[in-house]
Structure 1
Amino acid sequence: MSVESRDEAAWWQSAVIYEIALISFQDSNGDGKGDLAGLMSRIDYLRWLGIDAVWLTPVYKSAFRDLGYDISDYCSIDPAFGNLDEFDRLLKALHQAGIRLILDLVPNHTANDHAWFVESASSPNSAKADWYIWADAAENGGPPNNWLSRFGGSAWEWCEARRQYYYHSFLVEQPDLNWRNPDVRAAIADVMRFWLDRGVDGFRVDASAVLIKDELLRDNPPNPQAQGKPPPQRHTPVFTDDRPETMHCIEFIREVIDSYPDRMLCGEVQGKTDRIGHFYSNDRPRLHLPLNFALLDSKWDALSLQATIDAYFNAIPERAWPVWVIGGHDKQRIASKIGAAQMRVLAMLLMTLRGTPFFFMGDEIGRKRVPIPSDRVRDPFEKLVPGYGLCRDPERAPMRWDDSPNGGFTGADPWLPLEPPDGAANVAGQQRDERSVLALFRALMALRREHACLCEGGYQALRSQHDVLAYKRIGRGGEMLIALNIASEPRKWHWQGRGRLLMSTHLDRTPEPLPDATLLLRGNEGVIIVLEPR
Structure 2
Amino acid sequence: MTDRSPKPASKRSDWWRGAVIYQVYPRSFQDTTGDGYGDLKGVTKRLGHIASLGVDAIWLSPFFKSPMADMGYDVSDYCAVDPMFGTLEDFDALVSEAHRLGLRIVIDQVISHTSDQHPWFIESRSSRKNPKADWYVWADPKPDGTAPNNWLSIFGGPAWEWDGVRRQYYMHNFLASQPDLNFHNPKVQDALLDTVRFWLDRGVDGFRLDTVNFYFHDERLRDNPPLVRDPDATSHDAPDVNPYGMQDHLFDKSQPENLGFLKRFRALLDEYDDRTSVGEVGDGARSLKTVAAYTSGGDKLHMCYTFDLLGPDFTATHIRKCVSAFQQAVTDGWVCWAFSNHDVMRHVSRFAKTEDEQERVAKLAIAVIASLRGSICLYQGEELGLPEADLAFEDLRDPYGIRFWPSFKGRDGCRTPMPWEKGEAHAGFSSAKPWLPIPDEHRHMAVNVQDGRTDSVLGHYRAMLAFRKAHGPLHDGEMTFLDSNRDLLAFIREKDGEKLLFVFNLTREPQEFRLPGTDVRPVDLPGFSPRSAGGILGLEGLDAFCGRL
Give the TM-score normalised by structure 2: 0.91
Aligned position for 1:333: 346
Tell me if structure 1 keeps the 8 A contact 2:404–2:410: no
1:14-413 matches, within 5 Å, as 14-225=18-229, 229-271=241-283, 272=285, 273-282=287-296, 285-297=299-311, 299-317=313-331, 319-339=332-352, 340=358, 341-404=360-423, 406-413=426-433
Paired residue secondary structure (1:349): helix
Paired residue secondary structure (2:378): strand
Tell me if structure 1 keeps the 8 A contact 2:312–2:351: no
CA drift at 1:190: 0.4
1:279 to 1:103, Cα distance in 2 relative to 1, 3 A: farther
Q: Which structure 1 residue ranges, 4+ long, deviate > 3 Å from structure 2?
A: 1-5, 223-229, 276-284, 421-424
CA drift at 1:242: 1.3
Paired residue secondary structure (1:88): helix
Tell me if structure 2 keeps the 8 A contact 1:34–1:81: yes
Equivalent of 2:453 in 412, 418, 433:
433
CA drift at 1:280: 3.4
Tell me if structure 2 keeps the 8 A contact 1:279–1:287: no
Aligned position for 1:506: 527
Unaligned runs of 5+ in 2: 230-237, 353-357
CA drift at 1:402: 3.0
Tell me if structure 1 keeps the 8 A contact 2:279–2:301: yes
1:230 to 1:281, Cα distance in 2 relative to 1, 3 A: closer
Equivalent position amino acid for 1:526 in 2: A
CA distance in 1 between partners of 2:308 and 2:240 (Å): 22
1:530 to 1:515, Cα distance in 2 relative to 1, 3 A: farther
CA drift at 1:74: 0.3
CA drift at 1:374: 0.5
1:322 to 1:160, Cα distance in 2 relative to 1, 3 A: closer
Tell me if structure 2 keeps the 8 A contact 1:62–1:70: yes
CA drift at 1:222: 2.7
CA drift at 1:276: 4.0
Q: Does 1:465 align with 2:465?
A: no
1:384-438 deviations in Å (ceiling 9; x for gaps): 2333325111011111223246222112111011111477432222224211222
Aligned position for 2:518: 497
Tell me if structure 1 keeps the 8 A contact 2:505–2:544: yes
Q: What is the aligned-residue identity percentage?
A: 37
CA distance in 2 between partners of 1:309 and 1:386 (Å): 33
CA distance in 2 between partners of 1:228 and 1:192 (Å): 35
Q: Does 1:523 align with 2:541?
A: yes
Residue correspondences, number: 527
CA distance in 2 between partners of 1:156 and 1:333 (Å): 32
Paired residue secondary structure (1:287): coil
Report which stretch shifted further, 343-352 or 422-431: 422-431
Unaligned runs of 5+ in 1: none
Paired residue secondary structure (1:304): helix
1:488-512 deviations in Å (ceiling 9; x for gaps): 2322222123243323453578xx9
CA distance in 2 between partners of 1:442 and 1:11 (Å): 20
1:431 to 1:279, Cα distance in 2 relative to 1, 3 A: farther
Equivalent position amino acid for 2:538 in 1: L
Tell me if structure 1 keeps the 8 A contact 2:22–2:50: no
Report which stretch shifted further, 467-476 or 99-108: 467-476
CA distance in 2 between partners of 1:77 and 1:338 (Å): 36
CA distance in 1 between partners of 2:143 and 2:40 (Å): 50
1:300 to 1:227, Cα distance in 2 relative to 1, 3 A: closer
CA drift at 1:383: 1.8
CA drift at 1:335: 0.7
Equivalent position amino acid for 1:68 in 2: G
Report which stretch shifted further, 272-281 or 467-476: 272-281
Q: Please give the root-mean-square deviation of Cα atoms over the aligned residues, in Å.
A: 2.2
Report which stretch shifted further, 186-195 or 131-140: 131-140
1:320 to 1:282, Cα distance in 2 relative to 1, 3 A: closer
Q: Does 1:414 align with 2:437?
A: no
CA distance in 1 between partners of 2:195 and 2:227 (Å): 37
1:95-141 deviations in Å (ceiling 9; x for gaps): 00000000111111110111111111111111111111111121112
1:292 to 1:134, Cα distance in 2 relative to 1, 3 A: closer
CA distance in 2 between partners of 1:351 and 1:206 (Å): 24
